[in-house]
């Protein structure tokens, strides 16, 4: 089972990170899922792959009634992000799925029907969770061509999908980045290879620097907190991406 | 025909995956029979012309050739109707394959969260649906099996026709050598089909 860690709480407004699955098979990439709750409603952020559904479901259940999850947010179309959709929908057919309009007709191959999807336009959109307004922030080509991050202005938490991801050695179990320069070595190859556009990256760094962010939450690896958030943005800004090797 | 379908070492297909492999084998066999049935049709046409040239000495042979020709047509139709059943079975088995994968994931979730009543009801719903899929598949299994039996009986009749043609060939006077050759070929081919269909009826799919 995965572990849950509350990374933000103010009354019933919460961000819960669902991380580190000791039972996960080595051939599956390790992922972080996030649960945002407000006024008794939940939004599951990048709910993860089919195979890890039991681990994510049970972790969620320790924190929150899974039937109160009203929607899932999928940053992009990858299987590690959203291939569990059919199972979540079977558990709760009313659940909605927010995803880029670009993928709205592709994701039903994983599950769902015409009434399941809320297609996010390229410029982004507001997503409400129990009256709390979250912002889907455009991050196209980082890495997917229809890609969104999720910003909670109130909690100052920013979910950054595959941006900020690090493929950490298994002995590194810390939730937050402890030593930025040691950590970022595990992120470099990933960002060079997976991020496709230097121009998109430049614009993203500029826009995200303007936001007030306490915690930056990637889909893989440790979370960035405090000064490490801007450190990461600066590092990413100077990194040359879209490189096959090197 | 190839008996062995290769699977990755160490991975033994079971349940619906095994059913799918058996269906694929049945389908290959059906394709082979359809191809041969077409061959009989051409051969029978040639035999009809040969019998015409042989005249009164080959009247009986001509009648049998006509019968063999309509036999090949019937056989082809029977085999094509099996295709429809095969198609439907593949559909049902694929549904069951996905179903069993999802069910096992839900059971794993329920083992971790035994208190979730909603999860239990999802699993109960699944079990009911799985039973429905299985029932549909066993209806298809039975239809397929009885169609294969029909085809087998038809081919036995074809065998009788081919053997009678062999006897008739002997009365073909100066044509008897060529008539014997043709009827021998008929007999060989019908035996080949008989063998294929016999393999089909014994398919482990019907034991599932
Ligand atoms: Fe991805
Ligand atoms: Fe990812």
Taking only the tens place, the pLDDT of each residue in A149-176 is 999 999 999 999 999 999 999 888 899 9
How far away, in angstroms, is B104 Cα from ligand 2 center?
Answer: 24
Residue B7 has pLDDT above 70, yes or no: no
Question: pLDDT tens digit string along B25-64?
Answer: 898 889 889 888 888 999 999 999 999 998 888 899 999 9
Are the Cβ atoms of B109 and A1 closer than 8 angstroms? no
Q: Could you tell me the distance, in angstroms and rounded to a whole number, from the CA of residue A163 to the centre of ligand 2?
A: 9
Among A196, A136, A173, A206, smallest CA distance to A30 is for A173
- The reply to whether residue B113 touches residue A87, judged by beta carbons under 8 angstroms, is no
- Whole-number Å distance, alpha carbon A162 to ligand 1 midpoint, is 6
- Mean residue pLDDT of chain B comes to 89
CATH annotation of A3-238:
3.60.15.10
What residues of A are in contact with residue B119 (Cβ under 8 Å)? 57, 66, 91
Q: Which residue of A has its CA nearest to B126?
A: A90
How would residue B208 be classed by pLDDT, with cut points 50, 70 and 90?
Answer: low
- For residue B152, pLDDT over 90 is answered with yes
User: In residues, how long is chain A?
Assistant: 246
Residue B118 to residue A67, Cβ atoms within 8 A: yes
- Return the domain boundaries, chain A: 3-238
Average pLDDT over residues A63-87: 96
Bridge partners of A6, per DSSP, are A16
Distance CA B176, CA B82 (A): 38
A91: contact with B, CB 8 A cutoff: yes
pLDDT digits (tens, 9 = 90+) for A182-232: 999 999 999 999 999 999 999 999 999 999 999 999 999 999 999 999 999
What is the per-residue burial (b if ≥16 Cβ within 10 Å, else e) of A206-222? Answer: eebeebebebbbbbbbb
Distance (Å, whole) CA B207 – CA B147: 16
Please provide residue B14's backbone torsions phi and psi, each rounded to the nearest 5 degrees: -140, 170
Chain-centroid distance of CA A209 in Å reads: 18
Check CB contact of B97 with chain A, cutoff 8 Å.
no
| CB proximity A90 to B under 8 Å | yes
Please say whether the beta carbons of A152 and A184 come within 8 A.
Answer: no
Strand partners, A41: A38
The B residues from 123 to 142 touching A (CB cutoff 8 Å) are 126
How far apart are alpha carbons B203 and B188 in whole angstroms?
23
Is the confidence at residue A105, as pLDDT, over 60? yes
Instruction: Work out the angle between the directed axes of helices B176-201 and B59-112 (0-180°, nearest 10).
Output: 20
**Over chain A, what is the mean pLDDT?**
96
How far is B19 from chain A, CA to nearest CA, in Å? 24
- pLDDT tens-digit series, residues B121-139: 999 999 999 999 999 999 9
Q: What is the pTM of this model?
A: 0.85
pLDDT surpassing 90 at residue A74:
yes
Of A30-44, A116-130, A138-152, B173-187, the poorest mean pLDDT is in B173-187
Beta-carbon separation of A61 and B102 below 8 A: no
ipTM of the complex, rounded to two decimals: 0.87
Per-residue confidence (pLDDT) for residue A6, from 0 to 100:
97
pLDDT band at B2 (very low <50, low <70, confident <90, very high): very low
What is residue B1's predicted lDDT score, i.e. its pLDDT? 43
Amino acid A184: pLDDT: 97
User: Residue B65's pLDDT band (boundaries 50, 70, 90)?
Assistant: very high
Q: With beta carbons under 8 A apart, name residues in chain B contacting A87.
A: 102, 105-106
pLDDT confidence bin for B172, thresholds 50/70/90: confident
Q: Which ligand is nearest to the CA of A49?
A: 2
Whether A132 shows a pLDDT value over 80: the answer reads yes
Percent of chain A with pLDDT over 70: 100
Q: How confident is the model at residue A83 (pLDDT cuts 50, 70, 90)?
A: very high
A196 Cβ contact list (under 8 Å, min separation 6):
A141, A142, A143, A145, A241, A242
| Nearest C-alpha in A relative to B103 | A87
Contacts of A23 in chain B (CB under 8 A): none
**Region B94-101: what's the mean pLDDT?**
92
Long-range contacts of A201-208 (CB under 8 A, 24+ apart): A201/A142, A201/A236, A201/A237, A201/A239, A201/A241, A202/A237, A204/A139, A204/A142, A204/A163, A205/A233, A205/A234, A205/A236, A205/A237, A207/A137, A208/A137, A208/A158, A208/A233
How many CB pairs below 8 Å do chains A and B form together? Answer: 37
Tokens coding B120: 């239990």
In this predicted model, what pLDDT tens digit does every residue of A16-51 receive, in sequence order? Answer: 999 988 778 888 889 999 999 999 999 999 999 999
**Chain A residues within an 8 Å CB radius of B116:** 61, 66
Report helix, strand and coil shares of chain A as percent, to nearest 5: 30, 30, 40
């Amino acid at each position: 089972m995965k572990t849950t860690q509350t990374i933000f709480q103010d009354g019933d407004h919460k961000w819960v990170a669902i991380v580190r699955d000791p039972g996960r098979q080595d051939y599956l990439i390790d992922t972080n899922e996030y649960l945002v709750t407000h006024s008794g409603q939940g939004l599951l952020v990048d709910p993860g792959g089919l195979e890890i559904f039991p681990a994510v479901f049970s972790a969620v259940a320790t924190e929150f009634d899974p039937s109160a999850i009203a929607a899932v947010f999928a940053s992009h179309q990858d299987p590690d992000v959203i291939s569990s959709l059919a199972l979540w929908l079977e558990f709760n057919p009313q659940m909605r799925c927010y995803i880029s309009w670009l993928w709205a007709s592709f994701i039903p191959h994983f599950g769902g029907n015409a009434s399941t999807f809320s297609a996010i336009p390229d410029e982004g959109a507001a997503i409400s969770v129990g009256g709390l307004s979250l912002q889907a922030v455009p991050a196209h080509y980082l890495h997917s061509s229809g890609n969104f991050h999720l910003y909670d202005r109130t909690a100052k938490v920013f979910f950054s999908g595959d941006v900020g991801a690090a493929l950490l050695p298994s002995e590194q179990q810390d939730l937050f980045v402890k030593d930025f320069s040691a950590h970022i070595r595990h992120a470099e190859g990933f960002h060079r290879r997976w991020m496709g556009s230097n121009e998109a990256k430049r614009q993203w760094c500029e826009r995200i620097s303007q936001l007030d962010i306490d915690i930056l939450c990637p889909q893989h690896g440790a979370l960035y907190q405090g000064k490490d958030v801007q450190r990461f943005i600066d590092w990413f800004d100077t990194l040359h991406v879209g490189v096959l090797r090197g | 025909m190839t008996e062995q379908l290769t699977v990755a070492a160490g991975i033994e297909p079971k349940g619906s995956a095994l059913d799918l492999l058996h269906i694929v084998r049945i389908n290959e066999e059906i394709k082979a029979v359809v191809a041969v049935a077409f061959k009989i049709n051409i051969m029978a046409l040639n035999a009809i012309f040969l019998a015409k040239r042989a005249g009164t000495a080959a009247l009986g042979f001509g009648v049998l050739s006509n019968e063999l020709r309509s036999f090949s047509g019937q056989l082809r139709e029977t085999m094509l109707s099996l295709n429809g059943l095969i198609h439907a079975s593949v559909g049902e088995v694929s549904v069951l394959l996905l179903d069993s994968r999802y069910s096992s994931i839900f059971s794993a979730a329920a083992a971790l969260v035994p208190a979730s009543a909603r999860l239990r009801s999802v699993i109960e719903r699944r079990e009911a649906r799985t039973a429905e899929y299985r029932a549909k598949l066993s209806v298809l299994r039975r239809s397929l099996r009885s169609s294969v039996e029909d085809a087998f009986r038809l081919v036995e009749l074809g065998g009788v026709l081919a053997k009678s043609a062999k006897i008739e060939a002997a009365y073909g006077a100066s044509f008897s050598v060529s008539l014997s050759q043709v009827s021998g070929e008929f007999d060989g081919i019908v035996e080949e089909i008989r063998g294929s269909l016999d393999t089909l009826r014994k398919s482990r799919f019907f034991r599932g």
